[in-house]
Amino acid sequence: MTKNTILTFRKKKREGKKLTMLTAYDYTMARIIDAGQVDAILVGDSLGNVMLGYADTVSVTMDDMVHHCAAVSRATSHALVVGDMPFMSFQTSVEEALRNAGRLMKEGRVNAVKLEGGHRVCPQIKAMVQAGIPVMAHLGLTPQSVNAIGGYRVAGRTKGKAELLLEESLAVQDAGAFSLVLECVPVRLASLIARRLDIPVIGIGSGNGCDGQVLVTQDMMGMSTDFTPKFVKVFAPVGDAMRKAVADYVQAVESCEFPEEQHGFAVDDEAIEGLY
């Protein structure tokens, strides 16, 4: 099985083929997803919500990201692994951004990094690309800015905001990003941006006109017990199957139906003779 690279992204855009990306944060899930032939695995900072139980992604640290990226990278032989740059790991300076992106590559063993923002992060994108670090940009709804935006809202709904979004998309492309995630952007605007850009646009809640799609795996498997966004489709109710498995296990242990004989290990009589 060959490992995807940013060239896979370019080729698929050129050929008009859709790209697929799912999130993973741990080895077991990444193995399942990688075997499913997804093009890329995103170790998103959504791990703050999904894995760590935070209300948002603001508290996620570089150490959190490195830890989870390394687990996912160990599991992955086909998908391109993209590691998210957490809040305040790239905003303070280009040097700080380079150092932290370098950590995700060297310690987390990711193949590319993703960061939220437009014009204001173009110097960081340029420096990373020059240093040999492929960058996926992220515009539209940018969850790390939840406090500045005042909530999670659809982006680009007025003329001014739509124009700015197109400008920023072109700017991150010019800065060297190899692809762009557009989150919660109205369908027609996202399609227009995908057509205008040479790099692939990966949508989440941004409709079918994008060059590819990304979802949080726990959402599309119905495992999230908290809020599920409108744009999520549950492809398999794995969460229900897991809840039933737990209930069945409790029932089987309490009723002494589990473990059965085949789940135990035998011992010769002489080893335990005299112990009774």
Binding site for ligand KIV (CB under 6 A): 23, 42, 44-46, 84, 138, 181, 183, 204, 214, 216
Of 229 and 243, which CB lies nearer to ligand KIV in the complex structure? 229
Smallest distance from the beta carbon of 71 to ligand KIV, in angstroms? Answer: 16
User: Cβ-count burial of 10 within 10 angstroms (0-12 exposed, 13-18 middle, 19+ buried)?
Assistant: middle
Smallest distance from the beta carbon of 246 to ligand KIV, in angstroms? Answer: 26
Of 209 and 243, which CB lies nearer to ligand KIV in the complex structure? 209
User: Token pair for residue 107?
Assistant: 């310690």
Residues in the chain: 276
Smallest distance from the beta carbon of 216 to ligand KIV, in angstroms? Answer: 5
> Residues of 166-195 as b/e, b for ≥16 C-beta within 10 angstroms?
bebbbbbbebbbbbbbbbbbbeebbbbbbe
Helix (H, G, I), strand (E, B) or coil at 127: helix
> Can you list the positions of beta strands (E) in the chain?
19-23, 40-43, 80-84, 112-116, 135-140, 179-183, 201-204, 212-215
Of 227 and 265, which CB lies nearer to ligand KIV in the complex structure? 227
Smallest distance from the beta carbon of 245 to ligand KIV, in angstroms? Answer: 26
- Is 183 marked active-site? yes
Helix (H, G, I), strand (E, B) or coil at 201: strand
Q: Which of 116, 183, 254, 257 is catalytic?
A: 183
Of 75 and 137, which CB lies nearer to ligand KIV in the complex structure? 137
The tally of CA atoms less than 13 A away on the side-chain side of residue 1 is: 13
Q: Just list the catalytic residues.
A: 183
